[in-house]
Structure 1
Amino acid sequence: MPEAGPSAPVRVADAEGAERLVAETLSVMRDLEVLLGRESDHIRVGRLAEGLAEAPLKTALSGAYLQGLQAVKANAVALARFAPEGLAALREAHGRFSDAVAANQAVLGTARAISEGLLRSLSAELTRSAEPQGYGIGYGTRPAPSPYGHRRSVPLVLSRSL
């Protein structure tokens, strides 16, 4: 697992350093892409707990990836000079990685929208069932409002162990 603390800026001075920076950045990018794929697969089929279980690792890999990108940007001239094929590989891998991130965000957005919709419908159902049902009231009419200006509400219970 990548280290969590700030590290010294990477300076590429030769071909070996350029190749090492490219290899490390590609490795972190691949690991993060695999993790995003697993997360998306779990959430897509409704296994939310399993999908979100690797959040600490995802955070660590994301941080390492961003540090790698900063190092690549800071050493762009040296990489172009010492490892032009590595720079081309990074560009290509970054395009695939961007697609994986977009797919993961779509899955997470869909899951969020479904969850919000379920909570709204549950709340509406609880509110509707809490409305008073009395005798002598015609169909479709409601009783007079409370003299205190508010309706009695029913608490909403939410289980976080899904």
Structure 2
Amino acid sequence: MAEAVRPVQPAGIQVTDAAAAERLVAETLTTMRELEILLGRESDHIRVGRLAEGLAEAPQKTALAGAYLRGLQAVKANAVALARFAPEGIAALRDAHGRFSEVVAANQAVLATARSVSEGLLRNLSTELTRSAEPKGYGTRPAPSPYGHRRSAPLVLSRSL
């Protein structure tokens, strides 16, 4: 399993020297890298159908995402000081953020595909259940529903899969 999340400095910090600027950049980059790795693992699991494993690190993902956003807020709040004390850090953050955005987009595409496939499976299952509940004899029809659609057997969904 993954390590405990190290909190990033709060957004209210003021960078007043080069050491603080470098520390803020390093902590933000570290958090971004850890979140990128976790998103990659999640995507890999979900891509091959291991949904439980893919979603098992959701609390860690939430904590890292929060730490990342706090880091970005601190970077934005100290943009002038960072430009003065750590201009190469700003360039590193821009590059890392570009790569990170691609990983997030890929992760979102995998999650959307898994959601779409799941919905399609449930829709097909419901259709099959409705079809199998229809009478097969001659001249017999089920009683009409007061809501204008055919009655079907209840569908049970297990969210623990």
Q: What is the TM-score normalised by the length of structure 1?
A: 0.88
Using the TM superposition, give the Cα deviation of residue 51 of structure 1 relative to its aligned residue in structure 2, in angstroms. Answer: 0.3
Aligned counterpart, 2:143: 146
CA–CA separation in structure 2 for the residues paired with 1:117 and 1:101: 24
Match of 1:101 in 2: 104
- Indicate how the Cα distance of structure 1 residues 7 and 21 shifts in structure 2: closer, same or farther if over 3 A, else same: closer
Shift >6 Å, 4+ stretches: none
Aligned to 1:44, which of 38, 43, 47? 47
Structure 2 unpaired stretches of 5+: none
The Cα of 1:157 is off from its aligned counterpart by 1.6
Whether the 8 Å CA contact 1:3–1:60 is kept in 2: the answer is no
Distance 2:113 2:104 in 1: 14
1:133 maps to a residue whose letter is K
1:81 to 81, 84, 98: 84
Contact residue 145 and residue 151 of structure 2 kept, 8 A: no
The CA distance in 2 between the partners of 1:54 and 1:147, in whole Å, is: 47
- The residue aligned with 1:159 is 158
Structure 1 unaligned spans of 5+: none
Aligned to 2:65: 62
Change (3 A) 1:72 1:147: closer
SS in 1 for 2:27: helix
Any idea what the Cα deviations from partners look like across 1:52-110, whole Å, max 9, x if unmatched? 00000000000000000000000000000000001100000000000000000000000
Which structure has the larger Rg over C-alpha atoms?
1
Distance 1:116 1:147, change over 3 A: closer
The answer as to whether partners of 2:11 and 2:77 remain within 8 angstroms in 1 is: no
Select which of 122, 126, 135 maps to 1:123.
126
CA separation of 1:8 and 1:67: change in aligned 2, threshold 3 A: closer
Cα offset, 1:10, TM superposition: 1.3
Q: CA RMSD in A?
A: 1.9
- Provide the aligned length of Structure 1 versus Structure 2: 155
In 1, the alpha carbon distance for the partners of 2:146 and 2:38 equals 52
Measured at CA, do residues 64 and 76 of structure 1 come closer, stay the same or move farther in structure 2, by a change above 3 Å?
same
Q: Is the 8 A contact 2:18 2:85 kept in 1?
A: yes
